[in-house]
Structure 1
Amino acid sequence: MITPLDIPTARVMPRPLPPSGLDLLVAASSREGRARHLRDLLAGADADGAVYLLDPDQARTMLDRGVNPQLYLAYRDIAAPRTKTGQPVNGADGTHAWFADLVVYTAANLGPSPEPGRSLGHWNTPAQVEIFQCLSGRVLLLHTNIDDAGNSRMDYHVCQAGDHVVIPFGAWHLTVVLDAPAAVFNIYTDVAEILTGHTSRDAVDSDLKYRAAPAPELTITRTASTFAVAGTQHELTERPLRRGESPTWARDLLMPSGLAALYHHAPDAELARLQEHAAHFGRRHVTATTS
């Protein structure tokens, strides 16, 4: 089943880097990122369904021929963790700080497959606050969501430099490259008051986040004339697709300084307010605590 998306396939005019975006890319240039390749996608698809590929046999054929394109480089902790104030001393480590990552996507696609370059995709913890901001290029961010009536949906956001996306609690999400190369920065933490299992930090350190549960059976495809969501009819029926909107509070908090500048320079109270608003957006009441 294929659902076309109203997204231009022609390359769009790039926007300037958001504030502090260049600093992140310079920091990445002196570090060794974790590379992800086509083989990693296929491994997730074959092992436990943690990755959904439209045509895994085609990926297998490419690998048999020695073709294993690099899809992206992930820079964990591209900026040092920021300790949160006012947290219980006996709480889980993943709730005590904010963490920051950078992912740089190459121009590689999935070979002859109609799928463009992409991330592996993964599920967040039910207590995880995560916010993305595109630094360069153009990407599509796809994630599960629950609407106001309690129904499951799939939201997509088309992002250029400066655009941000707030991921709902417990959501699965996937990043797809529309114009490469592209860079995406994200910050995340777990809310101590609603934590019921492992933290997002536990999941990162153990690679559990890529094996927590099977991925939704859908992906993004590209032809000369259209982008589309492709997957099983059951999946697209169970999770109707809609174009997502970033909440106005996020724009008010993040702009014009940008996410990286906020992470580096904002007072602790501002990050606490970010967590409070994100928790409210996720339909969970959490009171921010500051010193």
Structure 2
Amino acid sequence: MERTVKRLEKRRLADFFSKDEGGGPDVLFADPAAVAAAVAAGADQELYSAARDVLPSRVVPAPEKQDGPTSAGATLWSADLVIYQDGTLPGGEPFRSTGHWNPADQLEIFQVLSGRVLMLSSILDKPDGQSSVFFQECRAGDLAVVPFGAWHLTYVLDGPAMVFNTYSGPIGSRDDATASGTAHTPATKYRSQRGPAEITVTRSDTGFSIDLSAKWRQACGDPVRVSCPAWLQQHIPLSGLLTDLHVSATDADLEALLLSARTSSGVDLTEAAERWS
């Protein structure tokens, strides 16, 4: 079995201000001017490094019988490991990931291995017509799910922090510029047509504060605190490790996981939610 990490990416603060063709990634800072001034003055901290394909990818064939909301073709499951550094950006934001929109057909699950992070996500125009912002404070062992088609961002509350994630996509989608695959490719992952969600987090006396633009607050209301949904817990192995799920789950197990996620989308995520105040 191949165990070579296929790609190691390091994201430094200056990378957000890339002058390459196409510009830098979609990103919104709490204080863009302060961050830009720091970069212009030579600040170039490493925010995180990501080992892509840290575990061998899985290909799950299309199920023979497709009753209900199952995938139409084979599914690729990939696994990454991200190590976030500890620190605070100019403007008061904790060190953070870039943030991006997930494709509408992608299930992504995270598990924090060390440190403490804040998982932030936002859904616009859900089937019920509502838009929402979710946040989850995660410590070592905690699991978090990104809703289908959601924007998401990770903030480091206590670092360094190590986070493992596994995510699905149509077979070939990470390389093919097909209608279903384009949103999954690395080239378009951080440069969407939609721009970043207008949400930022800053450190405060109470730990952290979530700030939304007026437009985003009007669309989404107050952020909602969430936890690992019950449907996901039913699929996690006895070890409690997401890595074991990625490596050892059968094809049928992974297909059942996707079915549970699609069936429960927009329901379990906000179950017993606590409104942010």
Report the TM-score, using the length of structure 1 for normalisation: 0.76
Show the counterpart of 2:263: 280
CA contact (8 A) 1:102 1:185 kept: yes
Match of 1:245, SS?
Answer: coil
Q: Does 1:197 align with 2:197?
A: no
CA distance in 2, matches of 1:80, 1:176: 27
CA distance in 1, matches of 2:6, 2:26: 28
Match of 1:260, SS?
Answer: helix
Q: Which runs of 5+ in 2 are unaligned?
A: 65-70, 172-177, 268-277
Higher relative contact order (CA 8 A, sep 6+): 1
Matches for 1:231-250 after TM superposition, within 5 Å:
231-240=212-221, 241-250=223-232
Selected match of 1:136 from 108, 114, 119: 114
What is the deviation of 1:49?
A: 7.6
Matches for 1:249-260 after TM superposition, within 5 Å:
249-257=231-239, 258-260=241-243
CA contact (8 A) 2:61 2:74 kept: no
Farther-moved stretch of structure 1 (275-284 vs 125-134): 275-284
Higher helix share: 1
Q: Which amino acid aligns with 1:223?
A: S
Q: Which runs of 5+ in 1 are unaligned?
A: 1-26, 285-291
Show the counterpart of 1:171: 150
What is the deviation of 1:137?
A: 0.6
Deviations 1:107-164 (A, max 9, x none): 1331x32001000000011111111111111111011137785310100011111111
Match of 1:207, SS?
Answer: helix
Match of 1:72, SS?
Answer: strand
CA distance in 2, matches of 1:203, 1:149: 24
Structure 1 residues 190 and 283: alpha-carbon distance in aligned structure 2, compared to 1, 3 A threshold: farther
What is the deviation of 1:243?
A: 0.6
What is the deviation of 1:229?
A: 0.8
What is the deviation of 1:203?
A: 4.1
Structure 1 residues 198 and 86: alpha-carbon distance in aligned structure 2, compared to 1, 3 A threshold: closer
Show the counterpart of 2:252: 269
Show the counterpart of 2:55: 79
CA distance in 2, matches of 1:173, 1:243: 14
Show the counterpart of 2:8: 33
CA distance in 1, matches of 2:161, 2:237: 20
What is the deviation of 1:43?
A: 4.4
Q: Which amino acid aligns with 1:228?
A: S
Report the TM-score, using the length of structure 2 for normalisation: 0.79
Deviation beyond 4 Å, 4+ runs, structure 1: 46-49, 146-149
Structure 1 residues 234 and 49: alpha-carbon distance in aligned structure 2, compared to 1, 3 A threshold: farther
Q: Which amino acid aligns with 2:224?
A: R
CA contact (8 A) 1:109 1:116 kept: yes
CA distance in 2, matches of 1:106, 1:32: 19
Structure 1 residues 68 and 48: alpha-carbon distance in aligned structure 2, compared to 1, 3 A threshold: closer
